[in-house]
Structure 1
Amino acid sequence: MPLLARSVLTPLHIDVRRGAVADLGAILADGRISSGGDVAVVVGPGQGAQIAELIRPSLRSADVFTVSGGTLDAADDLGGKLRARSYDAVVGIGGGKTIDVAKYAATRRGLPMVSVATSLANDGIASPVASLITDGIKGSYGVHIPIGVIVDLDFVESGPDRHNRAGIGDVISNISALADWELSRQVRGEPVDGLAASLSRAGAEAVLNHPGDMSDDAFVIVLAEALISSGLAMAVDGTSRPCSGGCHEIMHAVDSLFPGTASHGELAGLGALFCTWLRGDLRRFGEMSACLARHGLPRLPAEVALTDDQFIEAVQFAPRTRPDRYTILEHLALSPTETRERLADYAGAIRDQLG
């Protein structure tokens, strides 16, 4: 008998709105995740005290744990604390580092995890991946997809604007990642999952073409839903392929060679724009460049405090960050001199847009 359908793991509950953190107890009960509030709430050091105070009235039975650093050690330490008693779920509230620590610890303890995002810096809020630092190097670890994903627009609005805008770069980079995936299919016969590609593309196109900005709730909701769709795309395919190509290879290379330069989303957007230029897709290059500029995101190495020499070094190193992945970088296999020439042309094209 032919296989007529497939099962796809997705969150049971998705909620993007204002006041979500204050209503967390009701959300967990309505979603049949925890009727009594016996959950482990994981917060970061920044807004942790404020969040703990806000949720206490609706989650009196919850234990609150504060984590910091986004490290594997922090996740292992949290996992040990989760053994103290029986919990219905782990609720990670905060930015990407806090949520990734909570995802990893929950997975290792076999507990469902609810992701409550207070910033929109990247697509990790709903992905089956935790990015954690060990021995100074950031690694990616497979985890269970969150059982619930909640975005509180009040906290997003009050958070650092630069962090939230970075999520735009991460979403836009999907366009380049999908082009790399299609290139790999044409050259190496790599299968492309149509559902995963559709989820990834839909969110990216929605953000790319939306006229609003971070001051507009309608745009922020579209961005949040696009980041969630990216996480679902990765869950569908079982890899980060729908959202990660040469763009993320460059991002990981910069992180390795020049740590602390810029955020994940900022570097992903810059890497995606450069890869699109290398691909020769001038229409897409123009659309993506205009979007990044409209939202004040970097398009040139100097805008993330990198010299041309450093950016060229990162592009040369980039394929080593994902040895099994085939992208425009592996396809062209540019020498340092050729990369310098392409970078000069790229910078000239951006200056022409400014002029």
Structure 2
Amino acid sequence: MPLLARTVTTPLAIEVRRGAVAELGSMLADRRISGGGDVAVVVGPGQGDRIAELVRPGLGNADVFHTAGGTLDAAVELGDQLRGRSYDAVIGIGGGRTIDTTKYAATRFGIPMVTVATSLANDGIASPTASLTHGGRHNSYGVHIPIAVIVDLDFVENGPDRQTQAGIGDALSNLNAVADWELAHRERGEPIDGLAVTLSRSSAEALVNHPGKITDDGFLTTLAEALIMGGLASAVHGTTRPVSGGCHEISHALDALYPDLASHGEQCGLGALFCTYLRGERERLAQLVTSMRRHGLATTPADLGLTDAQFAEAVAYAPSTRPDRYTVLEHLALSPAEIDARLEGYRDALRDLAG
């Protein structure tokens, strides 16, 4: 009887702990990624330079490049710089913009890429996409997943709490993305990938049920793992469907209508709450609201500096951001008046949960 299976591409190494950065050179050698330290180290603003100096003793032949990151032009420029020498790997050190810029540049020229994350703001640390600005718009580009992912909790702890809160919102929104995917499966027969669902949902479940705070190593480790598993879920399925539903459509709409309002993760978290309410999942809504309130995330439009009318406008606009995706927003196809009424019901539900 033939054995049917599929090959899943995953990083060779994933390390989430304190002190991991100082041992980066040893890890690269042990995993046969780079025995002699012939790597390119890409750093962004913030803690990048400090980490580059920390890893330099173990990477004697490394070249260090600086990037402001976040744009397609910066990624292309970095790629051109990397062509000057043959590297075993390129190491992106920093936050989401630096990581995405490095992922794109490394993919363009076929160089293995290692993520060294200094923050936990989104699942880009291990995802097969790079979010870059081009022509004044945020676009997602397909890239290779990192060959290794390093998260040193010492550096995460020293970063702004708001970055960690954004990561919580992004990870918890996976629960909504999976629910939207299952809705599309029931209503339209859209194929669903059980492995991708398992990776996305189980890691988010571990996070939503975790009793710790953003200052606890145990909680930060669970958050890092949830973001990494979300990225791997996208890699397994080949699209962002396991981690992107109506929550992300609302976030994209907010980006278009109110640029620089809040982080992607904060917006996705709020979008996930509203979409969960729209599906009538009261128990899940209560679970998400409790978790997000505990960690200081936005649960109402006002928490993000929006009026209800502005948020309603974003909800109405949201389906046009991903016309190929079917979520609860497309399923209900609410009119502006109906959105207003659902928002009023959402406010009532939050008051009930607070009481």
Give TM-score, length-normalised by structure 1.
0.98
What is the alpha-carbon distance in structure 2 between the residues aligned to residue 347 and residue 135 of structure 1?
A: 37
Name the counterpart of 2:176. 176
What is the alpha-carbon distance in structure 1 between the residues aligned to residue 48 and residue 171 of structure 2?
A: 27
Deviations 1:227-275 (CA, angstroms, capped at 9, x unpaired): 1110110000000000100000001110111011111111111000000
What is the alpha-carbon distance in structure 2 between the residues aligned to residue 342 and residue 308 of structure 1?
A: 11
Name the counterpart of 1:124. 124
Deviations 1:70-122 (CA, angstroms, capped at 9, x unpaired): 00000000000001100000111111110000000000010111111111011
Determine helix, strand or coil for the equivalent of 1:80: helix
Letter in 2 for 1:7: T
1:240 is aligned to 2:240: yes
1:266 is aligned to 2:263: no
Letter in 1 for 2:318: A
1:334 is aligned to 2:334: yes
What is the alpha-carbon distance in structure 2 between the residues aligned to residue 196 and residue 69 of structure 1?
A: 29
Deviations 1:289-329 (CA, angstroms, capped at 9, x unpaired): 11110111001011111111111111011001111000000
What is the alpha-carbon distance in structure 1 between the residues aligned to residue 345 and residue 32 of structure 2?
A: 55
What is the alpha-carbon distance in structure 2 between the residues aligned to residue 117 and residue 340 of structure 1?
A: 40
Name the counterpart of 1:66. 66
What is the alpha-carbon distance in structure 2 between the residues aligned to residue 59 and residue 72 of structure 1?
A: 28
Name the counterpart of 2:27. 27
Name the counterpart of 2:91. 91
Letter in 2 for 1:280: G
Letter in 2 for 1:329: L
Deviations 1:174-196 (CA, angstroms, capped at 9, x unpaired): 11111100111111111000000
Determine helix, strand or coil for the equivalent of 1:22: helix
Contact residue 76 and residue 105 of structure 2 kept, 8 A: yes
What is the alpha-carbon distance in structure 2 between the residues aligned to residue 37 and residue 305 of structure 1?
A: 47
Report the CA distance between 1:135 and its aligned residue.
Answer: 1.1
Name the counterpart of 1:226. 226
Gapped runs of 5+ residues in structure 1? Answer: none
What is the alpha-carbon distance in structure 2 between the residues aligned to residue 46 and residue 209 of structure 1?
A: 32
What is the alpha-carbon distance in structure 1 between the residues aligned to residue 74 and residue 2 of structure 2?
A: 46
1:243-322 equivalences under 5 Å are: 243-322=243-322
Determine helix, strand or coil for the equivalent of 1:57: helix
Contact residue 102 and residue 113 of structure 2 kept, 8 A: yes
Name the counterpart of 1:102. 102
Contact residue 12 and residue 148 of structure 2 kept, 8 A: yes
What is the alpha-carbon distance in structure 1 between the residues aligned to residue 69 and residue 339 of structure 2?
A: 35
Name the counterpart of 1:142. 142
Contact residue 116 and residue 149 of structure 2 kept, 8 A: yes
Determine helix, strand or coil for the equivalent of 1:187: helix
What is the alpha-carbon distance in structure 2 between the residues aligned to residue 40 and residue 196 of structure 1?
A: 32
1:10-49 equivalences under 5 Å are: 10-49=10-49
What is the alpha-carbon distance in structure 2 between the residues aligned to residue 24 and residue 162 of structure 1?
A: 27
Determine helix, strand or coil for the equivalent of 2:173: helix
What is the alpha-carbon distance in structure 1 between the residues aligned to residue 148 and residue 47 of structure 2?
A: 21
Determine helix, strand or coil for the equivalent of 2:57: coil
What is the alpha-carbon distance in structure 2 between the residues aligned to residue 3 and residue 122 of structure 1?
A: 36
Name the counterpart of 2:351. 351
1:173-212 equivalences under 5 Å are: 173-212=173-212
Determine helix, strand or coil for the equivalent of 1:9: coil
What is the alpha-carbon distance in structure 1 between the residues aligned to residue 309 and residue 326 of structure 2?
A: 24
Letter in 2 for 1:23: E
Name the counterpart of 2:160. 160
Determine helix, strand or coil for the equivalent of 2:11: coil
Report the CA distance between 1:58 and its aligned residue.
Answer: 1.2
What is the alpha-carbon distance in structure 2 between the residues aligned to residue 305 and residue 10 of structure 1?
A: 39
Letter in 2 for 1:61: N
User: RMSD over aligned Cα, in angstroms?
Assistant: 1.0
Report the CA distance between 1:2 and its aligned residue.
Answer: 5.1
Aligned-residue sequence identity (percent) comes to: 68
What is the alpha-carbon distance in structure 2 between the residues aligned to residue 140 and residue 195 of structure 1?
A: 23
Report the CA distance between 1:69 and its aligned residue.
Answer: 3.8
Gapped runs of 5+ residues in structure 2? Answer: none
Determine helix, strand or coil for the equivalent of 1:61: coil
Deviations 1:11-56 (CA, angstroms, capped at 9, x unpaired): 0111111112221111111111101111111111222221222122
Report the CA distance between 1:353 and its aligned residue.
Answer: 2.1
Determine helix, strand or coil for the equivalent of 1:90: strand
Report the CA distance between 1:213 and its aligned residue.
Answer: 1.1
Name the counterpart of 1:114. 114
What is the alpha-carbon distance in structure 2 between the residues aligned to residue 15 and residue 36 of structure 1?
A: 21
